[in-house]
Amino acid sequence: MRQGMADGESMMDKPKFSKICRAAIAGEERFSENTETGHAGRLLSCLGEKAEVDLARQYETWSRSDSEEFTQPAKDYRI
């Protein structure tokens, strides 16, 4: 867990999550970081409270509560 976060703290509120999901689905390049693992990758799609993320062709599904918008290309994605 990232330093400075309280247990159970949600990094991304629902409106922000919805906004970046809509942008990613519309074809805009958006990145997300998993606050539990520290991995980051390109956001592909969302369904409900889950996000599908591409980590250099390794795909993971993260919950909204474990996600934070990443504003620059992730190291994991660019390998």
User: For residue range 34-54, what is the model confidence (pLDDT) as tens digits?
Assistant: 999 989 899 999 999 999 999
Q: Residue 59, exposed/middle/buried by CB under 10 A (0-12, 13-18, 19+)?
A: exposed
CATH level 2 (architecture), domain 17-78:
Roll (2.30)
Domain layout of the chain by residue ranges: 17-78
Rg, C-alpha atoms of the chain: 12
- The answer to whether the CB of 19 falls within 8 A of the CB of 75 is no
Instruction: Report whether pLDDT(26) > 80.
Output: yes
Q: How confident is the model at residue 71 (pLDDT cuts 50, 70, 90)?
A: confident
Quick one: which H or E segment has residue 18? helix 14-25
